[in-house]
Amino acid sequence: MNTHPMATFSFFLLLTLSFVGSSMADYKANVFNNLPGNSNLTVHCKSAGLDLGTQTITYLHDFSWTVNNLLNCDMSWGNVNGNFDIFDPKRDASRCAYGNTCFWRVKEDGLYLFIKEHKRLELQFKWPGQIFA
């Protein structure tokens, strides 16, 4: 079998790039507003030193960010606010739901994450300083 050297090089380059690309998987951090009273949720996020801007997520709507580094967000609604790491690759890569998506649901008592292994939403963060019955 006589293989052209350029074809062999191209094959190995493509194989190498596929391997490198797969090791740096992108994830989505999806935040769903399930707050009471039709409240808007204001979210301002940063990742890897980049300011990703402010989003206002209306009641029963969501917003997603594509991430592969730590994603830190200030969140507020009414007079309640907090700062949360909603994606940490070391913590979340293995526990986020199918399709490399971390599904967050923001409720009155805190932030819930859908944990793939448990197949349910679980409270991860409470709003700082808030006491709910």
Q: Determine what percent of the chain is predicted with pLDDT higher than 70.
A: 79
pLDDT of residue 22: 39
Give the global pTM. Answer: 0.79
Quote the tokens at residue 64: 């997603």
pLDDT of residue 93: 87
Q: Which residues of the chain have pLDDT under 70?
A: 1-24, 130-133
Residue 19 resides in a domain: no
Residue 76 resides in a domain: yes
Element (H, E) at 19: helix 5-23
Rounded to 5°, the CA angle 55-110-40 comes to 35
User: How many Å apart are CA 126 and CA 119, to the nearest integer?
Assistant: 21
pLDDT of residue 129: 79
CB atoms within 10 A of CB 77: 21
**Model confidence over 85-109: pLDDT tens digits?**
999 999 998 898 778 999 999 999 9
Domain span including residue 90: 25-126
pLDDT of residue 99: 83
Residue 111: which CATH number? 2.60.40.10
Residue 11 resides in a domain: no
DSSP state, residue 61: -
Residue 15 resides in a domain: no
Mean pLDDT for all residues in the chain: 85
Among 111, 118, 56, residue whose Cα is nearest residue 87: 111
Residue 62 resides in a domain: yes
Q: Give the list of residues 6+ apart from residue 15 with CB closer than 8 angstroms, or none.
A: none
pLDDT of residue 16: 38
Query: What domain count does the chain have?
Result: 1
Residue 133 resides in a domain: no
